[in-house]
Amino acid sequence: MYLNCSHCGCEFLPSRNQRQRWRSLNGEKAKFYCSPICQSAGLSQDRPKVRYPGVCTTCSKTFLSVHPGRKYCTLRCYLSNPETQARLRTNLVKANAASVLKQTGRDAMPRVEVTCLNCGVKQMRKYSDVQHGRKYCNARCYREYMAKRFDRWIAAPQTIALPQGYDEFLTQNELPCLIEGCDWVGQNLGNHVNFTHGIPAKEFKRAAGFNLHSGLCTPAISEILSSRPHLYNNPFGEGVGNRGGLLGVPVRNYRSLEGQEHSHKAYALINASPSTAPTKTCRGCGKDFQPAPMGHGAKFCTFACRDQWYAKNNRVYRAWLTCGKCGKNFQGKRNQELRSECGLPVFCSHRCRCTWLWTQDTMRHRRPPEAAYGPSYRVSLTCSNCRKDFQGRRAQELRSQRGLPVFCSRQCHFRGLNTRSGKSQ
């Protein structure tokens, strides 16, 4: 069933409401439209084209309006008029008062004059701000006021002196305080900086470069603490004394100066020992060299030879490798050679890589390769409306597997929906 559009004259498939309206009229003349644009254009032609002249109150320009009694030509002129702005302000005050009365059951409190404790500037603040103790102009005044009265008594982190040797520092019989201006000397530095200077031990360790697991105490105190029985099953649960505050925030990518010092010392001890690696030939200059004690995989005699060889041959370097999917031999790049040496699969093409990833259980959530379900993929299906066989896409195949209707054309799609109007797709 097709109807003619009353505006453009084309034939179109009507909606369910349009069909019911056409049947209720028993063939009488009625106007139907194929789209909302045609409906708007058709209805505008039927309206009376009478225009009423007027003069804008704001810009004094003449204009024509469909409705009589208009005072403004545009919305901008209406909003920029002083009378409109005054009326909006009055209505806004009334609306706010009504909202406060509805929420709290009492009238809105008037604003209160407040003097800033830092700069002395007087401002009119809301009554709720005064109740919550807001006595400053902004956050900057609040910080300046607090810094003048509290921070001058607390040691700043930039005044912490870093020790030259962490092992030597922690093996002393008495530990001095690293904060400049403090002459304290004792056996438990962690408790001192916490109770005296107000700096938690973990923050002090990061500021001074210690390992987070290093104890800030003398060897005697460390031996006493380590001899105590450890509570492997804490009856109070984990995190006693640290209830999700600032100290509970985990720190990432922290590399302590103490750890760097330990790594330098360890490398120095290893390099000082005799090398047991066999003699190798430098890939860059071709000379024989003796690798370092930890240089069993070294391929160059010096860093200069390595940099020169990579700068010259890295882009054009190729090595024969075996594809992890199809098993063919191909010439791969340097990074593929390194992956092959580590036992990881390498591939000759992007298609082999995608196919291999799809076969892995860990990669099944990814989209299948184009060779399996690409734009050219077709499967034989049966139209739910005309019962003809056609070649459908992957999405239609999935709908058919779930028992949902599929159609061979757009016309069959609309006709099938009309016949199944009482059912869900």
3-class SS of residue 217: strand
DSSP string, 195-208: HTS---HHHHHHHH
Asked whether residue 167 is assigned to any structural domain, the reply reads: yes
**Segment (H or E) for 45:** helix 36-46
Residues 160 and 136 in one domain: no
> For 14-30, what is each residue's pLDDT tens digit?
888 888 888 787 656 67
> In 3-state terms, what secondary structure has residue 115?
strand
* 148: confidence class by pLDDT, cuts 50, 70, 90: low
The fraction of the chain above a pLDDT of 70, given in percent, is 79
CATH classification of the domain holding 194: 1.10.10
Residues 202-218 have pLDDT tens digits of 888 888 888 888 889 88
**For residue 253, is it within any domain?**
no
Per-position DSSP letters for 249-316, written without gaps between them:
S---S---HHHHHHHHHHHHHHHHSPP-SPPEE-TTT--EE---TT-TT---SSHHHHHHHHHHHTTT
What is the enclosing helix (H) or strand (E) of 350?
A: helix 350-359
| pLDDT band, very low/low/confident/very high, at 159 (cuts 50, 70, 90) | low
Q: How far apart (Å, rounded) are the C-alpha atoms in residues 31 and 46?
A: 12
Q: Verify that 385 and 362 share a domain, yes or no.
A: no
* Cα distance between residue 49 and residue 72, in whole Å: 20
Does 321 reside within a domain?
Answer: yes
- Answer yes or no: is 339 within a domain: yes
Q: Place 251 in a pLDDT band, splitting at 50, 70 and 90.
A: low
Q: Are 242 and 249 in contact (CB under 8 A)?
A: no
202 and 163 together in one domain: yes
Instruction: Say which range, 183-187, 236-240, 349-353, has the weakest mean pLDDT.
Output: 236-240
Say whether pLDDT at 405 is over 60: yes
Does residue 336 lie within any of the structural domains?
Answer: yes
Q: Which domain holds residue 194?
A: 156-226
* Alpha-carbon distances of 316 from 58, 84, 312, 342, 345, rounded to whole Å: 75, 75, 8, 22, 22
pLDDT at 381 (0 to 100) = 93
On whether the CB atoms of residues 194 and 200 are closer than 8 A, the answer is: yes
Question: Considering its fold, how many domains does the chain have in total?
Answer: 5
**Which region among 206-220, 296-310, 363-377, 407-421 has the lowest average model confidence (pLDDT)?**
363-377
- Specify if 222 maps to a domain: yes
Q: Are residues 163 and 138 in the same domain?
A: no
CB atoms within 10 A of CB 228: 7
Q: pLDDT band for position 330 (50/70/90)?
A: very high
202 and 176 part of one domain? yes
Cα dist. 119→139, 143, 144, 147, 209 in Å?
A: 12, 12, 10, 14, 39
CA separation, residue 117 to residues 34, 111, 128, 129, 140 (Å): 70, 18, 18, 15, 12
Same domain? 168 vs 217:
yes
Predicted local confidence at residue 230, as pLDDT: 59
Residue 165 and residue 131 share a domain: no
Q: Report which listed range, 45-49, 109-113, 228-232, 325-329, is most confident.
A: 325-329
213 and 191 in a single domain? The answer is: yes
Residues listed for the chain:
425
Is the pLDDT at 233 greater than 60? The verdict is no
User: Does 251 map to a domain?
Assistant: no
Q: Is position 166 within any domain?
A: yes
Q: Element (H or E) spanning 354, and its range? A: helix 350-359
The last residue of one of the domains, among 149, 178, 194, is: 149
The average confidence (pLDDT) of the chain is 78
